[in-house]
Amino acid sequence: MGTPFVPEPAQPQLTEDDAIGRALAHEKVDDWLARYPRRTLTDEAEFDEDARVWTVKVWSSLPDAGQVALAKVDDRSGAVTEAWTGPQVAWKMARGYDGAFGRKINEPWIWLSFCAVFLLGLADLRRPLSVRNLDLLVLLSFGVSLYFFNRGDVFTAMPLAYPPLLYLLARMAWIGRRGSGSPARPLWPVWVLLAATVFLTGFRFGLNVQASNVIDVGLAGVIGAQRIVADGQSPYGNMPTDEGEECGEPDADGYVRERIQTNGRCEVANGRGDTYGPVSYLAYVPGFLAFGWSYEWDDLPAAHFTSLLWDGLALLGLGFLGLRFGGVRLGTTLAFAWAAYPFTQYVSSSNSNDAIMPALLVWGLVFVTSAPARGLFAGLAAWTKFAAFLLFPLWASYPRATRWPRGQLLFLGGALLATAIGFWILLLEPDPLHAARVFWDRTFGWQLSRPSPFSIWDWGEYPGYPDLGVVQTALKVALLVAAAALAFVPRTRNVVQLAALSGALLIGFELVLTHWFYLYIPWFFPFVAFALFVPATVRAVAPEARQEKPSGERPVGDLVAAR
């Protein structure tokens, strides 16, 4: 019996030099490579016989430059089908893939519909040139930056995020100083806003279930919950990696994500999924218990459940917050604002963990007059996203900076309880002290030195862009000083000031972040919404603050609702 005939692979029509020449002649590649001295550049091309595609790579020998261009050339037509330069080479999320974050929410008609409803429901239509309307437009203006991000233009997208951040920082600082809300008059009856909120909530649910995706953050949450519940492990140092034997199919780039792990299972890799706080993974436990996990990056219903759960808790929390400190109208307004704001739906449609921290902080404001409850919710939020630690001095000293030390000790007690709730998972490991070191290395240790092109701070490696590291460091120091100073000033703070200054700190944190993203906007949105939409006639101060009012100060109640 003869040996079966195996046809020889077809020879490429282009030579390696031809493929490289076509890639380097591409307008985008040529424009970027012109930034580098020619003598520092080296290139190579590899041919994929099955796909009949040449992959062309270019490196620069300049310090920290590395690979600077990547292109794919079709062997049959000679056309350049893909061209990636600068940050797009190493960061796929910088390439502007359609719907990579949130799928359908990025469609113009859906995004603009959210914007229109948000504006129509909250704008002061009687005074088109009012500050209220400017505030709303600024909140929506992050969409301009997102538009360029979705087109893969990082160097235009990122700078456009800073003007609205700076404006909102200034507004929160101003309101934090004055301690009162907006004089804007309501337009719509409460029942209209309530009906719109109910409709939007249903629409958001459907959009999440039917037309969204789960990014790696949501996958990490599900894996972490599985490790805790099913494997009895801490997530830290136990995430599936891509170092084992391949057990899945390669993607379009030839990368196989599914690997045999040390536990013997074939699991999808997410090696850096253990960078979040422990409460973030505990928040996914109910979803995992309800839906489990297939060990693949499939539809991940547990992640959808968790996203919808915390999105709903944030909405309800804002409703109760407004109800307590402004009555039914403010409660309905704040719930509507969360439901209509497109970036909260962007988080929901990406099924990330970015609604958990703001939801916890909102409920901390709901129970703001209880120092232990305040500490508990602040602590849970901080062990979800570490940015919330900035709020501790401010929240611990509410309502009077001079009430030492009883209030601070009660707040600390609540925060310690939150820490115990989060960190019991380290006791699942044989050596808890080693597990604590692993936790530090995988979270703070990595995040403090994390490189990223998604801000202006880490662009020094790209020719033509300044190194702003010194400026960033100075701003970080200023932020920490400001956070500490808010433990002492203002001497007395009401809930409006507490919310505004909390928003200012979180915005300041995002301003100095090396890795900033649009999913982080809902971190500060509830505080901004409360500070901007609370009526000027509402001044909410805790009862214990009234008891120590300075002489001549007119007392105000814990709840003075707008009439």
Express each pLDDT in 495-519 by its tens digit. 999 999 999 999 999 999 999 999 9
Kindly give the residue spans of alpha helices, DSSP state H, lying in 424-520: 432-442, 444-447, 469-485, 495-512
Backbone angles phi, psi at 195, to 5 degrees: -65, -40
Average the pLDDT over each of 137-146, 236-245, 429-438, 544-553 and give the range with the smallest value: 544-553
Q: How far apart are CA 467 and CA 469, in angstroms?
A: 6
Q: Hey, what are 380's tokens?
A: 């849970």
In a shared domain, residues 447 and 514: yes
Output 462 or 536, whichever has higher pLDDT.
462
Asked whether residue 560 carries a pLDDT value surpassing 50, the answer given is no
In a shared domain, residues 316 and 400: yes
In a shared domain, residues 174 and 57: no
Percent of the chain residues topping a pLDDT of 90: 84
Instruction: Convert 241-261 into a string of H (helix), E (strand) and C (coil).
Output: CCCCCECCCCCCCCCCCEEEC
Give 4's pLDDT tier (boundaries 50, 70, 90): low
Distance of CA 523 to the CA centre of its chain: 7
Q: What's the confidence (pLDDT) of residue 195?
A: 97
Q: What is the DSSP letter of 400?
A: B
In a shared domain, residues 166 and 29: no
Let me know if residue 561 belongs to a domain.
no
Q: Hey, what are 318's tokens?
A: 């804002």
Q: What is the mean pLDDT of residues 216-243?
A: 97
Judge whether 505 and 340 are in contact, CB under 8 Å: no
pLDDT tens across 357-387, in order? 999 999 999 999 999 999 999 999 999 999 9
Q: What is the mean pLDDT of residues 193-214?
A: 97
In a shared domain, residues 107 and 79: no
In a shared domain, residues 29 and 169: no
Q: Hey, what are 324's tokens?
A: 């307590």
Give 182's pLDDT tier (boundaries 50, 70, 90): confident
Percent of the chain residues topping a pLDDT of 70: 92
Let me know if residue 153 belongs to a domain.
yes
Q: What is the mean pLDDT of residues 213-238?
A: 97
Let me know if residue 96 belongs to a domain.
no
Q: What is the mean pLDDT of residues 212-221?
A: 97
Question: Which domain does 42 fall in, by range?
Answer: 16-85
In a shared domain, residues 206 and 71: no
Asked whether residue 407 carries a pLDDT value surpassing 90, the answer given is no
Q: What is the mean pLDDT of residues 88-109?
A: 94
Let me know if residue 385 belongs to a domain.
yes
Asked whether residue 403 carries a pLDDT value surpassing 70, the answer given is no
Let me know if residue 471 belongs to a domain.
yes
Cα torsion 335, 340, 343, 349: sign: positive
Total domain count for the chain? Answer: 2
**CA distances to 39, 45, 558 from 42, in Å:** 8, 11, 69
In a shared domain, residues 330 and 409: yes
Report the chain's terminal Cα–Cα distance, integer Å.
Answer: 97
pLDDT tens across 38-82, in order? 999 999 999 988 889 999 999 999 988 999 999 999 999 999 999
In a shared domain, residues 48 and 119: no
Among the candidates 85, 113, 138, a domain finishes at: 85
Q: What's the confidence (pLDDT) of residue 562?
A: 33
In a shared domain, residues 322 and 380: yes
pLDDT tens across 435-456, in order? 999 999 999 999 998 899 999 9
Asked whether residue 6 carries a pLDDT value surpassing 60, the answer given is no
Asked whether residue 306 carries a pLDDT value surpassing 80, the answer given is yes
Q: Which of the given ranges, 7-11, 275-279, 446-450, has the highest pLDDT on average?
A: 275-279
In a shared domain, residues 21 and 161: no
Let me know if residue 161 belongs to a domain.
yes
Asked whether residue 483 carries a pLDDT value surpassing 90, the answer given is yes
Asked whether residue 22 carries a pLDDT value surpassing 60, the answer given is yes
Q: How far apart are CA 339 and CA 499, in angstroms?
A: 19
Q: What is the mean pLDDT of residues 239-256?
A: 89
CATH code, 71: 3.10.450.40
List Cβ neighbours of 275 (8 Å cut-off, separation of 6 or more). Answer: 220, 442, 443, 446, 447
Let me know if residue 348 belongs to a domain.
yes
Judge whether 245 and 264 are in contact, CB under 8 Å: no
pLDDT tens across 317-367, in order? 999 999 999 999 999 999 999 999 999 999 999 999 999 999 999 999 999
In a shared domain, residues 387 and 433: yes
Instruction: Convert 405-448 into a string of H (helix), E (strand) and C (coil).
Output: CHHHHHHHHHHHHHHHHHHHHHHHCCCHHHHHHHHHHHCHHHHC
Q: What's the confidence (pLDDT) of residue 251?
A: 82
Q: What's the confidence (pLDDT) of residue 123?
A: 95
Mean pLDDT of all residues belonging to the chain: 92
Please choose, from the candidates 355, 426, 412, 369, the residue with its C-alpha nearest in 3D space to the C-alpha of residue 547.
Answer: 369
Q: What is the mean pLDDT of residues 278-290?
A: 98
Asked whether residue 243 carries a pLDDT value surpassing 60, the answer given is yes
Q: What is the mean pLDDT of residues 15-30?
A: 95
Q: What's the confidence (pLDDT) of residue 50?
A: 84
Asked whether residue 136 carries a pLDDT value surpassing 50, the answer given is yes
Asked whether residue 545 carries a pLDDT value surpassing 60, the answer given is no
What is this structure's pTM?
Answer: 0.93
Let me know if residue 47 belongs to a domain.
yes
Q: What's the confidence (pLDDT) of residue 551?
A: 34
Q: What is the mean pLDDT of residues 80-108?
A: 94
The 10 Å CB-count burial string (b at 16+, else e) for 449-488 is eeebbbbbbbbebbbeeeebeeebeeebeebeebbeebbe
Dihedral angle over CA of 412, 417, 418, 422, nearest 10: 140
Cα torsion 253, 215, 469, 29: sign: positive
